[in-house]
Amino acid sequence: MTGRSLKKVITVAAAGILMATSAGVAAADIQGPDVASYQHPGGGGINWFGVRAAGYQFAMLKATEGLSYVNPFFVQDSMSMRVAGVARGTYHFARPNLPPEPQAAFYSALVLGQNGPLDLPPVLDLENSGGLPPDALIDWTHRYLNTVQAMTGRRPIIYTYPRFWQTAMADTNQFTSYPLWIADYRGNDQPEVPGGWPAWSFWQTTDSGSIPGIGAGVDLNVYSGAQGDFTRYANMPFSGSGRGSS
């Protein structure tokens, strides 16, 4: 996953990039990083209390890749995020050269569901075609998503970027019922939305941000409000405007 700087995210957010939530509450201040093993240089931990104190309310955490890779910091980060009050999304990096159902089962078994407190829905990170032509990749994606939804009980989010979707997925509009997490780093007021999606839900604006508590450059994301009130979407155990307690 890729992007720019924290300053850019703040600038874009301040320009009013976000839609209102279904409750009419602006979501411009609902931001969070996505992290993998790269954000643990030298094996060091992430200070999730520091992340939350800096105002970040969620994070997307890499769980698995293909059929064998598990993020070695997944359990550590999952536990620490919950204690710190940071809502957790988890993602699987797709390897479409391998069958989808076993990958979906591998991911779902590791994350142990996505329905608990502070859980965002599961995420499919789709940015590699595995050499499949568009029709085959579209079929692969349907099968993966259907399996994950059946196993976790929640409709997955799709992460991708415009050019990949327009080429590898032939800009298909078959997935518009799934929330979209789009990567677009060009600094526009809105990201480019492919595939006929009526709206984006998360926007990855940079891969070189900086956050207190994380000892390496990090991707930064913002929530649009397209899925409604963030506290409900993330199963947060408190109410309000979407802000959690520090």
- Does residue 67 contact residue 106 with C-beta atoms inside 8 Å? yes
- Average the pLDDT over each of 18-27, 142-151, 155-164 and give the range with the smallest value: 18-27
Whole-Å CA distances, 188 to 81, 154, 185: 31, 31, 8
Residue 204 DSSP one-character state: E
What confidence category does residue 182 fall into, taking pLDDT thresholds of 50, 70 and 90? Answer: very high
pTM: 0.86
Tokens of 107: 């991911």
The residues assigned a catalytic role are 34, 125, 127
d(CA 120, CA 59): 9
Q: Which domains does the chain have, with CATH numbers?
A: 6-15+30-223 (3.20.20.80)
Mean pLDDT of 123-140: 98
Tokens standing for residue 241: 């405007």
Q: What is the pLDDT of residue 172?
A: 98
Q: Could you tell me if 126 and 141 are in contact, meaning their C-beta atoms sit under 8 angstroms apart? A: yes
CA–CA gap between residue 87 and residue 157 (Å, rounded): 15
Closest C-alpha to 77, from 115, 105, 42, 51? 51
Q: Which residue reads 């508590």 in tokens?
A: 213
Query: pLDDT above 90 covers what percent of the chain?
Result: 81
Of 38, 111, 49, the residue nearest 74 (C-alpha): 111
Higher pLDDT, 240 or 111: 111
Run of H or E including 158:
strand 157-160
CA dist 39 and 111 (Å) reads 19
- Please report which confidence band the pLDDT of residue 28 belongs to, taking 50, 70 and 90 as the band edges: low
What is the pLDDT averaged over residues 119-131? Answer: 98
Residues 147, 104 contacting (CB under 8 angstroms): yes
